[in-house]
Amino acid sequence: MKGKTTKRHDRQRTLATALILGAMGAVAAEPALAQDLQQISDERVEFDIAAQPLSSALSEFARQARVNALYFSDDLRGLSSPPLRGSFTRQQALDLLLARSGYNGRISGGNLVLAQDQSSRPQRESAASGAETTQTTNEADGAVEGEEEIVVTGTRIRGAAPAGSHVITLDREDIDQTGRSTVQEVLQTLPQNFGGSQNEATQEGTQNARSNMTYGSTVDLRGLGADATLTLVDGHRLAPAGVGGYIDISTIPLSAVERVEVLADGASAAYGADAVAGVVNIILRDDFDGAETGLRFGATSQGGASERAFSQLLGTSWRTGEIMGAYEYRARDELNVLDRPFLASANFTDRGGTDFRGTRSNPGNIIRIGATTVSIPIPAGQDGTSLTQAQLVTGPLNRNEVNELAFFLPRQELHSVFLRGRQELTPSLELYGRLIGSERDVYLEREQLFANLVVPQSNYYRQLNGLFPGQGNLTISYYLGDDLGPVINRAEILAWSGVAGLRYDVGNTDWVIDGSVAYAHSEEAIFNENFYNSAAAAPALASSNVATAFNPFADGSNTPASVLAGLTFDIETYNDAETIVSQVQVDGPLWRIWGGDIRLAVGVERRDERFAIDRRELYPSGAVTQFIQRPGERSIGALFGEVHVPLIAADNNVPFINAMTLSASVRHEEASDYGESTTPRFGLRWALTPDFALRASWGQSFKGPQFSQMLGDIVLSYSTATAAQDPLADNGSTGVLSAGGSNGDLRPETAENWTAGFDYSPHWVHGLNLRATYFDIDFSDRIFSAGNLLSILANPAGYESIIFRDPSPALIAQYLALGAPPTGSLPADGVELIIDRRLVNLSSQRIRGVDLSADMAFDNAWGDFNLFVNASGMLQFEQVLIPGAAPVDLRNTVNGVIDWRFRAGLAYQLDHWSAAVTANYVNGYRDTLSSPNRDVDSQTTWDLRLAHTWRQSDNEAGLQLSLNVINAMDDDPPFVNNPTGYAFDASNASPLGRVVSLELRQRW
DSSP letters spanning 616-657: EEE-TTS-EEEEEPPPEEEEEEEEEEEEEEEEE-GGG-BTTB
SS3 435: strand
Residue 2's pLDDT is what?
38
The radius of gyration of the chain's CA atoms, rounded to the nearest angstrom, is: 32
Least reliable range by pLDDT among 61-75, 163-177, 631-645 = 61-75
Residue 955's pLDDT is what?
66
Are the beta carbons of 278 and 235 closer than 8 angstroms? no
Q: What is the pTM of this model?
A: 0.82
Average pLDDT over residues 924-945: 94
Average pLDDT over residues 351-373: 94
Are the beta carbons of 461 and 549 closer than 8 angstroms? yes
Phi and psi, residue 63, nearest 5° = -65, -50
Confidence of residue 160 (pLDDT cuts 50, 70, 90): confident
Give the pLDDT confidence of 462-489 residue by residue, as tens digits: 999 999 999 999 999 999 999 999 999 9
Neighbours of 889 (CB within 10 A): 11
Q: Is the pLDDT of residue 520 over 60?
A: yes
- Rounded Cα gap, residues 543 and 455, in angstroms: 10
Give the pLDDT confidence of 486-516 residue by residue, as tens digits: 999 999 999 999 999 999 999 888 899 999 9
- Rounded Cα gap, residues 634 and 581, in angstroms: 12
- Rounded Cα gap, residues 412 and 332, in angstroms: 5
Cα 419 from chain centre: 23
Dihedral (CA of 695, 700, 706, 707) sign: negative
- Rounded Cα gap, residues 425 and 420, in angstroms: 16
- Rounded Cα gap, residues 766 and 483, in angstroms: 69
Which residues, in sequence order, are CB contacts of 617 under 8 Å at separation 6+?
569, 570, 571, 624, 625, 626, 627
Average pLDDT over residues 668-680: 94
Closest C-alpha among 116, 93, 104 to residue 41: 93
45-54, 76-85, 393-402 — most confident range: 393-402
Q: Which of the pair, 742 or 70, is modelled with greater confidence?
A: 742
Give the pLDDT confidence of 736-759 residue by residue, as tens digits: 999 999 998 999 999 999 999 999
Residue 46's pLDDT is what?
79
Average pLDDT over residues 244-266: 90
What is the per-residue DSSP string for 568-584?
EEEEEEEEEEEEEEEEE
Q: Is the pLDDT of residue 53 over 80?
A: no
Residue 279's pLDDT is what?
95
Tell how many helices (H) and how many strands (E) occur in the chain.
15, 48
Residue 69's pLDDT is what?
65
Are the beta carbons of 200 and 217 closer than 8 angstroms? yes
One-letter amino acid for residue 109 of the chain: G
Q: Which of the pair, 132 or 632, is modelled with greater confidence?
A: 632
Give the strand pairing for 833-860 and 733-741.
Answer: parallel
β-strand partners of 607: 581, 636
Average pLDDT over residues 136-145: 35
Residue 264's pLDDT is what?
93
Residue 832's pLDDT is what?
94
Q: Is the pLDDT of residue 133 over 50?
A: no
- End-to-end alpha carbon distance in the chain: 10
Are the beta carbons of 114 and 18 closer than 8 angstroms? yes
Residue 957's pLDDT is what?
81
SS in 3 state form for 729-765? CECCEEEEEEEEECCCCCCCEEEEEEEEEEEECCCCC
Q: Is 787 left (phi over 0), alpha (psi -120 to 50) or beta?
A: left
Q: Which of the pair, 506 or 38, is modelled with greater confidence?
A: 506
Domains of the chain, by residue range, sit at 2-123, 713-891
Confidence of residue 551 (pLDDT cuts 50, 70, 90): very high
Least reliable range by pLDDT among 155-164, 385-394, 460-469 = 155-164
Confidence of residue 342 (pLDDT cuts 50, 70, 90): very high
**Helix (H) / strand (E) containing 268:** helix 268-271
Residue 108's pLDDT is what?
64
- Rounded Cα gap, residues 919 and 905, in angstroms: 6
Residue 729's pLDDT is what?
86
SS3 825: coil
Are the beta carbons of 696 and 164 closer than 8 angstroms? yes
Are the beta carbons of 367 and 476 closer than 8 angstroms? yes
- Calculate ∠ Cα 169-172-176, nearest 5°: 110
Average pLDDT over residues 399-423: 94
Q: How far is CA 47 from CA 151, 658, 679, 775, in A?
A: 20, 11, 33, 27
Residue 211's pLDDT is what?
61
Which residues, in sequence order, are CB contacts of 972 under 8 Å at separation 6+?
340, 342, 984, 993
**Helix (H) / strand (E) containing 403:** none
Residue 906's pLDDT is what?
96
**CATH of region 2-123:** 3.55.50.30
Give the pLDDT confidence of 83-108 residue by residue, as tens digits: 787 777 888 888 888 876 767 787 76
Q: Which of the pair, 425 or 630, is modelled with greater confidence?
A: 425
Confidence of residue 652 (pLDDT cuts 50, 70, 90): confident
What are the E-state strand segments in 157-244?
A: 167-171, 229-233, 236-237
Phi and psi, residue 461, nearest 5° = -75, -30
Q: How far is CA 653 from CA 13, 472, 558, 595, 688, in A?
A: 42, 96, 91, 11, 11
Q: Which of the pair, 559 or 94, is modelled with greater confidence?
A: 559
Average pLDDT over residues 878-900: 91
SS in 3 state form for 287-334? CCCEEEEEEEEEEECCCCCCEEEEEEEEEEEECCEEEEEEEEEEEECC
SS in 3 state form for 139-180? CCCCCCCCCCCCCCCCCCCCCCCCCCCCEEEEEHHHHHHHCC
Cis bond leading into 932, ω under 30°? yes
Q: Is the pLDDT of residue 407 over 90?
A: yes
601-605, 657-661, 931-935 — most confident range: 601-605
Closest C-alpha among 679, 607, 678, 676 to residue 636: 607
- Residue 400 is classified by DSSP as B
- Rounded Cα gap, residues 305 and 158, in angstroms: 43
What is the per-residue DSSP string for 492-560?
EEEEEEEEEEEEEEETTTTEEEEEEEEEEEEEEEEEEEEEE-HHHHHHHHH---TTT----SSSS--S-
Q: Is the pLDDT of residue 632 over 90?
A: no
Confidence of residue 404 (pLDDT cuts 50, 70, 90): confident
Q: Is the pLDDT of residue 180 over 70?
A: yes
Mean pLDDT of the chain: 87
Q: Is the pLDDT of residue 605 over 80?
A: yes
- Residue 766 is classified by DSSP as T
